[in-house]
Amino acid sequence: MEFDLQYWHWLVFGMILLMVEIFLTSFTVFWFGLGALVVSAVLAFFPALSHPWQVGLWAISSVLFTLLWFRYFKPMMRDKSKAGNASEAIKGESGLVIAVPVGDKRGVARFTTPLMGDDEWPFICQSDVAIGDRIFVLEMSGNTLIVEKR
């Protein structure tokens, strides 16, 4: 090995990797970029570190960054929109019973804001409901809502 890796090689390499992430948008190269920056910091303090150890340290630090991200940072990211997610958008919505289910006929509930383009939906409820009761959506089954009375 004639070529000797300096700490700034790793620094530049890490920054290039961070920039590559802009074009790759897979959010994977980013961790390797951060890992390379860690290697450059360690190399600045211990210039005698051999090449295999440098590469190994790079791999390990990258894995650590990835794990840290999914363990601590991802739970902090909330969903900002339920657009295009019908099931998440309707769960927990409440409506009023305007027709009671009788026998095998389904009841009808009306919602103040339209749910998936309709403000009246047939529903199935395990417990008995009366007209005017407030029900909450649990699930959607075809064009019928599964609801519960709280």
Partner 1 sequence: MIFNGMIVSVVFLLLVLVTIFMGVNIVPQGTKYVIQRLGKYSRTLGPGLHFVIPYIDMVAYKITTKDIVLDIPSQEVITRDNAVIIANAVAYINIVSPEKAVYGIENYGVAIQTLVQTSLRSIIGEMDLDDALSSRDAIKAKLKGSISDDIADWGITLKTVEIQDINPSLTMQKAMEEQAAAERSRRATVTRADGEKAAAILEAEGRLEASRRDAEAQVVLATASQTAIEKVSQAVQGQELPVMYLLGERYVEAIKDMSTSANSKLVVLPGDIPAAVRSLMGSMMK
Contacts with partner 1 by CB under 8 A lie at 25-28, 31-32, 50-53, 55-56, 58-60, 62-63, 66, 70, 74, 77, 79, 81, 83-88, 116-118, 122, 140-144
Nearer to partner 1, 96 or 124 (CB): 124
C-alpha dihedral sign at 16, 19, 20, 25? positive
Least separation in angstroms between CB 116 and partner 1: 6
Residues 38, 5 contacting (CB under 8 angstroms): no
Least separation in angstroms between CB 91 and partner 1: 10
Helix/strand number for the chain, H first, E second: 4, 5
Nearer to partner 1, 15 or 122 (CB): 122
Nearer to partner 1, 25 or 130 (CB): 25
Nearest Cα to Cα of residue 61 among 20, 23, 14, 16: 14
Cα–Cα distance between 68 and 90 in angstroms, integer? Answer: 33
